[in-house]
Amino acid sequence: MRICVYCASSTKIDKSFFDATEKLAMEFAAANIDVVYGGGATGLMGKLADVILENGGKIKGIIPKFMNEVEWAHKSVSDMEFTETMHERKAKFLEDIDGLVALAGGTGTLEELFEAITLKRLGKFTKPIVILNTKNYYDPLKVMLERCVSENFMDERHLDMWKFVEKPEEVLDALTNFPIWDENAIHFARK
Ligand code: AMP
């Protein structure tokens, strides 16, 4: 399985976010999952890569050249792909993956997640999207997404596009037992 992980670059966040990332990274390494991520060395990105490498797992980074020029790329991740733009990087995250996971993060993580959800709604991306709700960080996001449906900006069926889980131990199961998404989702993308 090849799984893309979106997550924070910040180093100043609560320890619980690092602990959850560490647990997930250990599970992914043990399950021999090919992980794709943003290529960073700091925050949850750095933790994810460090723990996967320490445990003999596989990880690939995709990072824009301008971030590499300011030395943001993780030095120990040998499989590193460099893109010209943020847009190209985001498109590559979704190529040939079996699912994606959003850990806690800021606007970078949120916009990557929202692009994936938007493409899924249009049937252009059909894979599982799992959101790890460590420390209830994503409770407001869950409320907002459900509000999109209750106010008819989206359809009830769109609630199947993502799944929130509370613990890192639940992520793999959620990825493997995810409802199949219809490539013809475009036909109910609009209310
Ligand atoms: P955020 O969740 O806002 O911290 O953003 C994480 C995403 O922002 C990453 O996937 C990158 O797109 C980008 N990013 C921000 N800061 C860094 C960094 N120091 N190194 C690598 N990527 C970063």
Q: Looking at 131-135, 137-141, 168-172, 179-183, which range is the least confident one?
A: 179-183
> Ligand 1 within 6 A of 57 CB?
no
CA 109 to chain centre: 7
Range of the domain at 43: 2-188
pLDDT at 140 over 90: yes
- As a whole number of angstroms, the distance between CA 153 and CA 144 comes to 11
Report CA(107)–ligand 1 centroid distance (Å): 8
8 A C-beta contact, residue 60 and residue 82: no
For residue 1, give the amino acid letter: M
Instruction: Tell me which DSSP letter residue 175 carries.
Output: H
At 60-73, the pLDDT tens digits run 999 999 999 999 99
CATH number of the domain that residue 169 is part of = 3.40.50.450
Of 55, 74, 54, 53, the residue nearest 63 (C-alpha): 74
> How many structural domains comprise the chain?
1
pLDDT value at residue 171: 98
- Ligand 1 atom 8: residue of nearest CA: 108
Q: Three-state SS for 36? A: strand
